[in-house]
Chain A
Amino acid sequence: MPGVAALSDAAMGQPSLLVLAIVLPVTGVLLSIVAGGRYVEAIAFVVLLSGLVIAIFIFDGVWRGGRELTYVVGGWRPPLGIMLRADGLSALMMSTMAVVICVVGVFAHADFNSRLEAAETRSPFVFWIMLVAVSGAMNMIFLGGDLFTLYVALELLTFAAVPLVCLSGSAETIRAAMRYLLFALLGSILYLGGTALLYGSHATMDFAVLSQQAHLEPATLIAAVLMTIGLLAKTALFPLHLWLPPAHAGAPAAASAILSSVVVKGSFFLVVRLWFDALPGMLTPAGAQLLGALGASAIAFGSVVALQQKRLKLLIAYSTVAQIGYLFLMFPIAFNAAATPAQSSEALTGGMLQAMSHMTAKAAMFMAAGLIYTALGHDRIADLGGTARALPMTMLAFAIGGVCLIGLPPSGGFLAKWLLMRAAVETGQWPWVVVMLAGGLFTSGYMFIVLSRALQPSGEFLKLGAALPKYREAAALTLALLSLLLGFVALGPLDVLQVGSGTMMAAPG
């Protein structure tokens, strides 16, 4: 009986969990709209915590099973229908994102408490719903195997992120949100155009089917280029990064954390999926070098401008621009004519680990910056003297996050860079090694500026504007420590990244 089979399937847990990962946030959004402001935060917590549990179960399923989990939606297999897929990449990213979102949710409780007043108020209502929507959209992006469904998921993500930017309602943030929206829309429509062309050539949107059918021909290449340009606009890779700094710096602290750490990873993940899984073997070395060059420019530009910033949040935002450049360095290293599949997957692993480290570290840094702002009433770097003594936990979180971004052991950032550099050296691509080392130096530069200021003793004892609840500082510190400990992932689950994606890379183009 189909019903019994389905139930026992659900009891075994894993494939139906893929659906649940998407259905639960959607239900949360719908419920919140009807239930109203008083329950919004509670609904969000339930959804986010369950999302974390689901992500862990999916991860466990993929790791133990050694192969990817799939779910055929509606019973129609591709190319006619849509399939959800969880491979090692999805599982790791989902779990990291789920942890980050939960911790940021805890952090945001103080700013967006929705239980105090009886009536529904704007900020908490919008914030919690958008947070749940971000989590659902990201899950869809990680689990999606169909290019058009991913378009809808991308739009979901954008519509959830834009209101977070202008949550405070000031004219500057609205302008930043407007710019973000325009760039994001440009990105999605170009992505959609590419999708149309791909359908025209192959009559499918599914990754697995495409990877078997696609070969290097003009129409497919043009489609892929269009899609990539669109995704690069959404990921804010240089030179399409203009919207990011004002948007991320102007948002409330919890929102900035989500925007920088989670949201930009969505479109980045799709770039990886596109070139590694959907159209393997189609990225020519020249194209890969171009992506790497753009990444290097982003690192240079972002770091140099970060060094000049006077406000902490803007510095962190420009640091995001630079760190996004890092993520694209994996392309030239992986797609090199001299690279063996093992080296390519090493580069892929390094890149994804970098993404995960950035997620945790950047969220921690933005949370710390938010706490500093709450405590001091400003975030001017020049006036941060004495902060280290007054807010030790917060500054520690900030510093540890920075350590991860610089790439010092044993952090995840260190392991990621080590893997990337090793792959680069083995394939003889020394320039990228230089770029990575230079980037690390730059990052140390602006971290040093902030930390040295904060460690300076101030004239009189620093008067704190508001007392900071310990749990908020603990939240920031937790994520920072997580980013530090990600380096230990090498001892265990790192090979999970090979699950599912390894077969794609080894297949002849």
Chain B
Amino acid sequence: MNALPLFASCAAMLMGLGLYALITDPEPLRKILAFNLLGSGVFLAFGVISRRVAATEFEGDPVPQAMTITAIVVAFAATAMAVALVSRLVEAGGRATVASEASEEPDADGGAS
């Protein structure tokens, strides 16, 4: 069980990495990749939470695992739709960027409490 903090930090870092790339990278395809990175970080968080309960008879909590499976399928569907949109955008003669006027603005709300 010593590895759990390791995986937890990994999950958090992947989320941060994915979020950063999602906001800053201007190309839509890179944003999609970043979204998948962010998503995998979230899923790993689920995994750590599932593994946390490992005791004598349980290897892990199956509920987060099931939720992760559902979310992976949904993320794939989202990626497929996004990729189709990008491809169509390029075909329709547009440039492969999302920003027509301003680029994405980051959220100013850093942590309300």
Residues of A within 8 A of B (CB): 148, 151-152, 155, 159, 162, 166, 169-172, 174-175, 177-179, 181-182, 185-186, 189, 192-193, 195-197, 199-200, 203, 221-222, 225, 228-229, 232-233, 239-240, 242, 246, 284, 286-287, 290-291, 294
Contacts and interface: CB of A to CB of B under 8 A. Distances in A.
Nearest to B106: A239
Interface string B62-78: 01100100110011011
Interface of B is mostly: helix
Nearest to B67: A148
Given A181-B81, A196-B46, A171 B93 contact: yes
A182 B107 contact: no
Contacts of B17: none
A181 B38 CA distance: 15
A171 B98 CA distance: 11
A152 B70 contact: yes
A206 to B, nearest CB: 12
A197 B42 CA distance: 9
Interface string B47-91: 001001000000001011001001100110110011001101100
A196 B64 contact: yes
Interface in B81-113: 81-82, 85-86, 88-89, 92-94, 98, 100, 102, 104-105, 107-109, 111-113
Contact of B52 (A179, A186, A200, A229): A200
A482 to B, nearest CB: 34
Nearest to B39: A189
A223 B43 CA distance: 15
A182 B49 contact: no
A225 B63 contact: no
A196 B92 contact: no
Nearest to A218: B113
Interface range, B side: 35 or more
A186 B82 contact: no
Contacts of B74: 152, 155
Contacts of B45: 193, 196-197, 200
Contact of B111 (A172, A192, A196, A225): A225
B7 to A, nearest CB: 13
Contacts of B107: 229, 232-233, 239-240
Contacts of B52: 200
Given A185-B35, A196-B45, A175 B112 contact: no
B88 A174 contact: yes
Given A178-B28, A239-B105, 18 more contacts: A155-B77, A166-B85, A174-B92, A175-B100, A181-B81, A185-B78, A189-B38, A195-B67, A196-B42, A196-B46, A196-B64, A199-B64, A203-B61, A232-B107, A239-B108, A240-B107, A242-B104, A287-B113
Contact of B28 (A155, A162, A182, A239): A182
A203 B71 CA distance: 18
A242 B31 contact: no
A175 B26 CA distance: 13
Contact of A178 (B22, B49, B82, B104): B82
A175 B98 contact: yes
A286 B112 contact: yes
A284 B81 contact: no
Given A196-B45, A199-B49, A159 B77 contact: yes
Given A175-B89, A185-B82, A200 B94 contact: no
A182 B35 contact: yes
B92 A182 contact: no
Nearest to A288: B112
B78 A181 contact: yes
Interface centre among B92, B93, B113 (most CB of A within 10 A): B113
A379 B39 CA distance: 41
A173 to B, nearest CB: 10
A74 to B, nearest CB: 14
A178 B38 CA distance: 18
Contacts of A284: 113
Contacts of A170: 92
Contacts of A172: 94, 100
Nearest to B41: A193
B100 A181 contact: no
B104 A177 contact: no
Contact of B112 (A151, A169, A225): A225
B49 A189 contact: no
Contacts of B15: 193
A290 B82 contact: no
A175 B94 contact: yes
Contacts of B109: 229, 232, 290, 294
Contacts of B49: 196-197, 199-200
Nearest to B108: A239
Given A174-B88, A182-B35, A155 B94 contact: no
Nearest to B104: A242
B35 A162 contact: no
7 contacts: A178-B86, A186-B22, A196-B64, A197-B49, A199-B63, A200-B45, A229-B107
Contacts of B102: 242
Contacts of B64: 196, 199
A287 B86 CA distance: 37
A178 B63 contact: no
Nearest to B64: A199
